[in-house]
Amino acid sequence: MNPDRIEALAETLADRDWAVLEVPEALPLLRRVAGEAQALAVSGRLRPAATGRAGGRRFAGLRGDSTLWLDDPACGPAAGELLSALDGLRPALNRRLLLGLEAVEAHFARYPPGAGYARHVDRFAGDDTRVLSLVLYLNEDWPEEAGGQLRLHLPAGPVDIGPRLGTMTVFLAGEVEHEVLPATRPRLSVAAWFRRRSLRGA
């Protein structure tokens, strides 16, 4: 992401809890990432997603996507390049917003037609390490009538973001409730979380 766009993202996050940006400079990489994600889906590498942490996971009801972490050996070079680019965004956000971000984790998410993700926040109960959530879409030529929007539940009312290639949404992981609306066609994205050291007990 170019410096001007990082600055715009930081300014928006400083002013409110969420931001939406278009990243046209990333489109060539995102097309390669989308191709890798499609190949992983066809080969059965993406697995039904769980909710909750290890030991307390459940699969039914809340979400309908299949996922694979970008650092998995099955992922290709484009996924690795994207993960490195996201990690490069971390120190830039730290310099501007003093967030203390120490790591980023990211996975592919593929939703089949009709599947969504119920309203939730991205921070686990009793765990304050997730600071920022980021969603980056991989769907070229996505028609509005196909649905599949990310809905942010904000104090002023809901905001819907369409899942078009190159659209990036960033928001506070523990504050912004959100959901994924069902779509009429398969939908691909990368979901990422920027993490810090826990402040509990500090």
In angstroms, rounded to a whole number, what is the distance separating the alpha carbons of residues 12 and 31?
27
> For residue range 109-136, what is the model confidence (pLDDT) as tens digits?
999 999 999 999 998 777 789 999 999 9
Q: Residue 54 burial (CB < 10 Å; 0-12/13-18/19+)?
A: exposed
State residue 202's pLDDT score: 47
Domains of the chain by start residue, with CATH: 3-50+63-196 (2.60.120.620)
Q: Which pair of tokens denotes residue 96?
A: 């501007």
Q: Is the pLDDT of residue 151 over 70?
A: yes
Phi first, then psi: what are they for 101, rounded to 5°? Answer: -70, 130
State residue 131's pLDDT score: 95
